Amino acid sequence: MARVAGFLGYVRRNKGLGVGLALLLFLLLFATAGRLFVDTDDAYPLSAPTNQPPSREYPFGTDSQGRDLLATAVMGTGLTVRIGVIAGSLGLGLGTLLGFVAAYYGGVLDTIIRWVVDVLLTIPSLLVLVVIASTMGRKGMNVNGMALVVSILAWMWPTRTIRAQVLTLRERAFVRVAQLSGESDLEIIFKELMPNLLPFLGASLVGSVTGAVFASLGLQALGLGPMREPTLGMTIYWVMYYGAFVRGMWWWIITPIAIIVILFVGLFLLSAGLDEIANPRLRRKV
Amino acid sequence: MTALMELRNVTKVYSGGLFRKRYTVALEDIFLPIGGERPGILTIAGESGSGKTTMGMLLLGFLAPTRGQILYQGKDLWQMPKTEWMTFRREVQAIFQDPFEVYNPFYKVDHVLTVPIAKFRLARSKEETRALVEEALLGVGLRPDETLGRYPHQLSGGQRQRITVARALLLKPRLIIADEPVSMVDASLRATILESLRKLNREMGISILYITHDLATAYHISENIVVLYQGSVTEAGDVDSVIKEPQHPYTQLLVSSIPWPDPDRRWEREELVARGETLEEETRGCKFAPRCPFVMSICHESHPPLFRTDSSRAAACYLYKDAPVIEGSDIGGVLGRGERVPLEEGQAPAT
Amino acid sequence: MSNNDILQVKDLRTYYHTEAGAVKAVDGLTFGLSRGLKLGLVGESGCGKSTMALSFMRLIKPPGRIEAGQVLLDGVDLIRLSEEEMRKVRLNEISLIPQGAMNSLNPVMRVRNQIMDGIKDHDSGMTKEEMRARVRQVLESVELEPEVANMYPHELSGGMKQRVCVAIAISLRPKVVIADEPTSALDVVIQRQVMETIGRLQEQLGISMILIGHDMGLMAQFVERLAVMYAGKLAEIASVGDIFREPLHPYTQLLISSLPTLSVKGVFRSIPGITPSLLNPPSGCLFHPRCPKAMDMCSQQVPVLKEASPGRWVACHLYEG
């Protein structure tokens, strides 16, 4: 109980973290509890009359394919976040592994990994994703497929940053002492180095997820996402496809954009808040 | 007398630089036997750039030599099979300079004591481990209830360094490499820590390699000394005579620069014997020649070998070129002599 | 303290206000610095020496705050000056060579510009030529070649960088210079050379100097009077010879006896116990828990710094009355 109180006390001082968490929590509730209030089938075409502005029956209105936009929003938020989390985690996981290996063992392994990462980073990632996504074909793409595609390029930046962190940690005296105590290399990586990087990894995860969500939105808006699923990105695609701007269907446009804004602001504040925890020097002075 | 560890013609070169390869010779052609049947305390003295820290890292197996061999019990360290390496790890331990950096901030200080016990299987149960840890802490004058269970930042520098010594005590190694163990500790606590090291040597027969730039403490704790300058041995021998009557001009400079805590013994008023620092000079001859007040032409031509100036002294300086030359591992002869009788309090040393 | 003092400190108190409470880093410091004198201030880490130096320079940042006291430089109370007035006084009349100064030189500015920075800020009357001449002059006085002015800090060795810091500190010929561990990162040979340079400079320019450190050996070689600080307060002030030959305060006595000397080999003594917490200091005399001569009153009353004999001040109940 004391820990919760301590945590809340810290959050009160670090307002950014608090607001960020609140926003994300709100979205999470919206996506999960919201399912209790809507029929998820209504998020698919031909569930409702088309092009209806918001009304009592359809609080968010409907779109040109007959989707209940409230259901779409609820489903979409969940799906988009899921894509982001899966891709972000995969990317971070692979990046962490490669970063540790490259930094700790050094030598040829390090050179190879670094070279691959540096080369791949120079390629415009959207281009690569577009190529990959289009070869996969529209029929084959589902939510998990989308996550995998995005994660292909999500591991490179974490590899670099984690490698840099481990490089600095590796030279510290406590690693030497661990070696003198008979710890093996793997033990040192997992028992000595990893715990010290947890705050950094936490912040990196948020960054990773943000990047993944961003990439997936981009792909979907271009029409390369899972066409059948009501993700936020796909909603934007349909908005453009059906010319919602020209037709003045503001209710269709506003919902996904509002949710995306809340999502990104929340992620950003969370990241900044975690930054402060990981780097005590940034902590507010009393 | 077989040495426990030996540096045999060891050279360590660091290369760096992007376009123009820059080579830094940290150590050059070093022969040094360490430890053996009669465990003693040997000081490796030098300023920054002397190579003393590199020597410590080489002896601990953290660095591989560019040339030459590092022997442990007669066997080449870098050709050892895994089991023998583990024995080496257990028998050669270290005490480092920074009392904070040696602790992983994520764990409590107990971690640094319990991990080696587990890895080297020194105890068979939790109780045994606890007993060993407490005994070691008490052995360095610390109270287990005041130190265990705390995080490193909750203890003082002196306490942390003493725990490091307790760790060495616990493992009962055969050799301890102590790299500037007291330079970051307050003056009032240095005595305790150095006294613990002496205890380790006297009571448990552990050899100690004391790496430092502080000749005052070196004088008090060790029997023999090797002075390094830019990677080469300049003088070696019995610590009393080397510090009281240094033979090599560099050692003379070093000793005269020590700020002795005695207002009646101020630095000589005359101009310092050597010229100031120089920027990057490569010489084929003696490395100290650019600064040496006694420099001769031969000093620029070739690097002076170690001349044996006395039964327990040697200096690498052409001023002593009439003395016999010491080859390679014979340096051990200079370091092995001299029965050291511990002095009573207040007793002046016999000349 | 006397009227010949260039600097007079009266009951200075600087506390750091943390979540856990107020850390009394400097708690009632009173002493004087005579003109042209070299005064040493010695104490263990955490005793408040650097805080004192920063307090004199009015460089204390939150959560630290100068709570009370006066610091009179030639009669002017530095604590009461406005920020603008203090800026004019810094470097011009009192300057500081901070700890680790050589690592705080700007790596992308040439030495000349770093020295001129300080001069420009204060002396708007000088022409560019005059400033360059002053830079040359100042480098010469710290025994550096004039070519150094063109160089960047990374091209210089440790000792040379430290000399540049000294040069900056004396560039406007201040009255008082505070040197906080100016040679702690330097090798012993360079240390001697840099200290001797500082000593020569001090004599030539008639600067009054406070040398802060923890190396008693260095104090013995360099200063004329020595002040011993313990846990934010002064324990003893006397001539350096008196401190070494006949220390009065038990802390000073233990400190002196823990120093290695060439005459007696192998004898080690240290001070038992641990340094007191400045957050929750012990009652009465802060040293009493570790003092071998503690009496009953020591745990109740804080001893005041008193003149035990001419020129010798001690804060210890052993010497009262």
State pLDDT tens for residues A227-245. Answer: 888 888 888 999 999 888 8
| Structure tokens that stand for C155 in this block | 């091209």
Q: What integer pLDDT is reported at residue A139 of this predicted model?
A: 61
Q: What integer pLDDT is reported at residue A2 of this predicted model?
A: 54
Q: Which residue has the tokens 């033979």?
A: B247
Round to whole Å and give the CA distance between C309 and C287: 22
| C41 strand-pairing partners | C212, C227
**Residue B210 neighbours by CB distance under 10 Å:** 26
Round to whole Å and give the CA distance between A168 and B106: 16
Q: Which residues contact A102 (CB under 8 A, 6 or more apart)?
A: A109, A110, A113, A114, A159, A163
CA distances from C309 to A47, C246, C294, C313 (A): 101, 12, 21, 7
Q: Domain for residue C303, yes or no?
A: no
Neighbour order of strands in the sheet with C21-34:
C21-34, C5-18, C64-73, C76-77
Round to whole Å and give the CA distance between B285 and B295: 11
**Residue A18 neighbours by CB distance under 10 Å:** 17
Q: What integer pLDDT is reported at residue B115 of this predicted model?
A: 93
Is the pLDDT at B287 greater than 90, yes or no?
Answer: no
Binned at pLDDT 50, 70 and 90, residue B268 comes out as low
Q: What integer pLDDT is reported at residue B19 of this predicted model?
A: 62
3-state secondary structure of C99: coil
Q: What integer pLDDT is reported at residue B65 of this predicted model?
A: 92
Segment (H or E) for A212: helix A194-221
Is the CB of C188 less than 8 angstroms away from the CB of B279?
Answer: no
Q: Which residue has the tokens 């006949």?
A: C246
Burial of residue B150, with CB atoms counted within 10 A of its CB: 0-12 exposed, 13-18 middle, 19 or more buried: middle
Q: Is the dihedral of CA B100, B105, B111, B112 positive or negative?
A: negative
Binned at pLDDT 50, 70 and 90, residue B351 comes out as very low
Instruction: Tell me the longest C-alpha to C-alpha distance in chain A.
Output: 73
| C65 strand-pairing partners | C15
Q: Write down the pTM of the prediction.
A: 0.79
Burial of residue C81, with CB atoms counted within 10 A of its CB: 0-12 exposed, 13-18 middle, 19 or more buried: middle
Round to whole Å and give the CA distance between B47 and B24: 16
Q: Which residues contact A82 (CB under 8 A, 6 or more apart)?
A: A143, A147
Q: Domain for residue B15, yes or no?
A: yes
Binned at pLDDT 50, 70 and 90, residue B281 comes out as low
C17 touches A at CB < 8 Å: yes
Q: What integer pLDDT is reported at residue B141 of this predicted model?
A: 82
| Residue pLDDT, tens place only, B321-347 | 888 888 877 787 788 744 444 444 444
| Structure tokens that stand for B328 in this block | 């390679």
- Partner residue opposite B261 with nearest CB, options C143, C217, C269: C217
| Residue pLDDT, tens place only, A24-45 | 999 888 888 888 887 778 888 8
Q: In this complex, how many residue pairs, one in chain B and one in chain C, have their CB atoms less than 8 Å apart? A: 134
Q: What integer pLDDT is reported at residue B17 of this predicted model?
A: 61
Residues of B in contact with C159 (CB under 8 A): 276-277
The CATH class for the domain spanning A13-282 reads mainly alpha
Q: What is the DSSP string of C130-153?
A: HHHHHHHHHHHHTT--GGGGGS-G
Binned at pLDDT 50, 70 and 90, residue B56 comes out as very high
| B315 strand-pairing partners | B235, B307
Cis, peptide link before residue A280, omega less than 30° from 0:
no
Is the CB of B159 less than 8 angstroms away from the CB of C274?
Answer: yes
Q: What integer pLDDT is reported at residue C223 of this predicted model?
A: 92
Contact C166, C198 (CB under 8 A): yes
* Per-residue b or e along B99-133, where b marks 16 or more CB atoms closer than 10 Å to that residue's CB: bebbbbebbbbbbbbbbbbebbeebeeeeebbebb
- Between vectors from CA C202 to CA C199 and to CA C204, what angle results, nearest 5°? 110
Q: Domain for residue B319, yes or no?
A: no
**Residue A153 neighbours by CB distance under 10 Å:** 21
Count the helix, strand and coil residues of chain A and give each as a percent rounded to the nearest 5.
75, 0, 25
Residue B304 Cα, gap to closest chain A Cα (Å): 36
3-state secondary structure of B189: helix
Q: Domain for residue C278, yes or no?
A: no
Give residue A210's identity as a one-letter amino acid code.
T
Is the CB of B188 less than 8 angstroms away from the CB of C271?
Answer: yes
Structurally, chain C folds into a number of domains equal to 1
3-state secondary structure of A146: helix
Contact A207, A188 (CB under 8 A): no
Instruction: Output the tens digit of pLDDT for each of chain C's 321 residues.
Output: 666 788 999 999 999 888 778 888 898 889 889 999 999 999 887 778 888 999 999 998 888 889 999 999 988 899 989 988 888 888 889 999 987 777 888 989 999 999 988 888 886 677 888 888 989 999 988 888 888 899 998 888 888 888 999 999 998 889 999 999 888 778 888 888 889 889 999 999 899 999 998 888 889 889 999 999 998 899 999 999 999 999 999 999 888 887 776 666 666 677 777 778 788 888 888 888 888 888 888 888 888 888 888 889 999 888 875
- Partner residue opposite C192 with nearest CB, options B187, B265, B267: B267
Instruction: Provide the chain A residues 187-246 that lie in CB contact (below 8 A) with chain B.
Output: 192, 195-196
Contact C12, C55 (CB under 8 A): yes
Q: What integer pLDDT is reported at residue A286 of this predicted model?
A: 31
- Parent domain of B27: 5-222
B266 touches C at CB < 8 Å: yes
- Partner residue opposite C258 with nearest CB, options B48, B159, B187: B187
User: What's the mean per-residue pLDDT of chain A?
Assistant: 84
Average pLDDT over residues B309-331: 86
Residues of B in contact with C271 (CB under 8 A): 188-189
Q: Which residues contact A205 (CB under 8 A, 6 or more apart)?
A: A88, A89, A92
Round to whole Å and give the CA distance between B143 and B135: 10
A2 touches C at CB < 8 Å: no
Q: Domain for residue C211, yes or no?
A: yes
> What residue spans define the domains of chain A?
13-282
Q: Domain for residue C129, yes or no?
A: yes
Beta strands in A158-226 (DSSP E): none
Give residue C154's identity as a one-letter amino acid code.
H
Residues of A in contact with C21 (CB under 8 A): none
Q: Domain for residue C288, yes or no?
A: no
Nearest chain A alpha carbon to C21: A286
Average pLDDT over residues B235-250: 91
Pairing, β C38-42 against β C21-34: unpaired
Is the pLDDT at B243 greater than 60, yes or no?
Answer: yes
Residue A269 Cα, gap to closest chain C Cα (Å): 25
| Structure tokens that stand for C61 in this block | 């940042």
Q: Domain for residue C45, yes or no?
A: yes
| Structure tokens that stand for A160 in this block | 């670099």
Round to whole Å and give the CA distance between A243 and A100: 48
3-state secondary structure of C185: coil
- Partner residue opposite A183 with nearest CB, options B60, B93, B119: B119
Burial of residue C319, with CB atoms counted within 10 A of its CB: 0-12 exposed, 13-18 middle, 19 or more buried: middle
Q: Which residue has the tokens 């949710």?
A: A259
Residues of A in contact with B103 (CB under 8 A): 174
B58: CATH: 3.40.50.300
Burial of residue A107, with CB atoms counted within 10 A of its CB: 0-12 exposed, 13-18 middle, 19 or more buried: exposed
Contact C315, C236 (CB under 8 A): yes
B341 touches C at CB < 8 Å: no
A247 touches B at CB < 8 Å: no
Q: What is the ipTM of this complex?
A: 0.82
A285 touches C at CB < 8 Å: yes
Round to whole Å and give the CA distance between A178 and C130: 59
Is the CB of C265 less than 8 angstroms away from the CB of B343?
Answer: yes
Residue B146 Cα, gap to closest chain A Cα (Å): 22
Q: What integer pLDDT is reported at residue A136 of this predicted model?
A: 74
* Per-residue b or e along A21-60, where b marks 16 or more CB atoms closer than 10 Å to that residue's CB: eebbeebeebbeebeeebebebbbeebbeebbebeeebeb
Burial of residue A235, with CB atoms counted within 10 A of its CB: 0-12 exposed, 13-18 middle, 19 or more buried: buried
A173 touches C at CB < 8 Å: no
Burial of residue C216, with CB atoms counted within 10 A of its CB: 0-12 exposed, 13-18 middle, 19 or more buried: buried
Structurally, chain B folds into a number of domains equal to 1
C197 touches B at CB < 8 Å: no
Identify the segments of chain A with pLDDT beneath 50.
Answer: 284-286
Contact C225, C37 (CB under 8 A): yes
Q: What integer pLDDT is reported at residue C226 of this predicted model?
A: 94
Round to whole Å and give the CA distance between B76 and B54: 18
Average pLDDT over residues B254-259: 86
CA distances from C62 to A59, C59, C65, C101, C232 (A): 53, 10, 6, 22, 18
Q: What integer pLDDT is reported at residue B350 of this predicted model?
A: 41
Contact B28, B7 (CB under 8 A): no
Q: In this complex, how many residue pairs, one in chain A and one in chain C, have their CB atoms less than 8 Å apart? A: 6
Half-sphere exposure (Cβ direction) of B139: Cα atoms closer than 13 Å: 23
Q: What integer pLDDT is reported at residue A3 of this predicted model?
A: 57
Q: Which residue has the tokens 């430092």?
A: B212
Nearest CA among C284, C277, C281 for reference residue C316: C284
Residues of C in contact with B214 (CB under 8 A): 188
Q: What is the DSSP string of B105-161?
A: TTS-THHHHHHHHHHTT--SSHHHHHHHHHHHHHHTT--HHHHTT--GGGS-HHHHH
Round to whole Å and give the CA distance between B73 and B4: 5
C53: CATH: 3.40.50.300
